[in-house]
Structure formats: C-alpha cells, structure tokens
Amino acid sequence: MEKERKQELIKNFARGENDAGSSEVQIALLTERIKELTAHFAKHPKDTNSKRGFLILIGKRRRLLSYLRRKNYNRYREIISALGLRK
C-alpha cells in the first residue's frame, strides 16, 4: 500500500487528529490490503502460501467489525457503508 493512500485512509476514518490505531482505522487499512491481495490472487491463483496470510487478515477484520458492532453500532454502520463491505 502506498504511503499517501495509507495516510488518506487514516485521515478519513480517524476519530481525532492523532488517531492511527482505532478499530475504525484498522478496519479501513485491512480492507485496503485485502483488496490488493484479491487483485494479486486474480493474477496468481496458485499462490497458496500468501492465501494463508490473506485468510488471517480477513479473520482479523471480521473480529474488529464484530467488536465495533458491539461497542458502537452507529459507527459500525457508517464504516460498513463507507467501505462497501455489505450489500
């Protein structure tokens, strides 16, 4: 992920000025990384070693979304719609 894109995501989803580690920011960064890996697997379907890390990232994002849904449902809905995760 490019540094500019990462900073843009942090700025868009941060709660405050110095926020870089809240669950919202982590979910956004993981989603971007998952999108990049999805494109990678379209070109390299036999890359099974990277798929393990990919599945770990998906599980981590799922746990963070579950946590956010429990703690702040309104913010959860905002994140889901902003990232386009659910239909």
Domains of the chain: 3-83 (1.10.287.10)
Mean pLDDT to the nearest integer, 13-17 = 89
Cα(57)–Cα(55) distance, integer angstroms: 5
Q: Of 37, 75, 43, nearest to 56 (Cα)? A: 37
Cα(84)–Cα(19) distance, integer angstroms: 22
Q: Which pTM does this prediction carry?
A: 0.91
pLDDT at 1: 79
Does residue 17 have a pLDDT over 90? Answer: no
Structure confidence at residue 86 as a pLDDT band (50, 70, 90): confident
Residue spans of alpha helices (H) in the chain: 3-13, 23-43, 48-71, 73-83
Does residue 87 have a pLDDT over 70? Answer: no
Residue 51 CB partners (closer than 8 Å, separation 6+): 41
